[in-house]
Amino acid sequence: MIFPLAARPPVTLVVDGAIVPSYNRAYLAHGRVMATIDPVLTAVADRIEYVGGTMIVSRGDRFAQIRLLRRPQPSELANLYVAVAPILRALGEVVSYDPATRVLEVRPRSEALVALPTPFNPAVPEAPPSAVFTPAPIPTPRPIFTGEPIPRRTPIPVFAPPSLTPAQPSCGPAGHRGG
């Protein structure tokens, strides 16, 4: 068989509700979804580094280790297949597989972003209401005008009417004076 992956039906990968496009499709082998490191793990991971024969994929304070026979070149990550579900779970993602539709869905773990208020406890003593002292605002004094009004100091432009000059009579077409 020339293309062994073509004989297996592909698995669709959905990360955060979007289908991950990849030239090399993911497939199911021995109960595990196998997918390439690039673009699946590179879409989720913050950093990929190598220590000896181990690839360390990390996101925040979580990491996963993958033992490799040799260190791949960056261009080979699009052809290097790994079992993605355990790695994604180690990075803190929620992974679910639907065998009917052959879809592997990856979602970020939902964490409470808002602290919920504590419930009412009648055993806790309450403080009695008290009056809060707020001083009355001091009114701004208004200026008092006395004496004669001051004349306006803004100059007002005065234009002379255009001079009226007697028009020269003309007869006939323009530029031709009659005579």
Phi, psi (deg, nearest 5) at residue 154 = -80, 125
At 143, list the tokens. 């200026």
The full set of domain ranges for the chain reads 7-108
At 81, list the tokens. 């297949």
Over its length of 179 residues, how does the chain's per-residue pLDDT go in tens digits?
455 555 677 888 888 888 888 888 888 888 888 888 888 888 888 888 888 888 899 988 888 998 888 888 888 888 888 899 999 999 888 899 998 999 989 888 776 556 666 777 778 788 888 888 888 888 888 878 788 877 767 777 777 777 655 555 555 555 555 44
Rg over alpha carbons for the chain, rounded to the nearest Å, is 42
Question: DSSP assignment, residue 138?
Answer: P
Closest CA to 38 of 3, 4, 89, 72: 72
| Global pTM value | 0.56
Q: How far apart are the first and last CA of the chain?
A: 112
Per 3-state DSSP, the chain is made up of helix, strand and coil in percentages (nearest 5) of 15, 25, 60
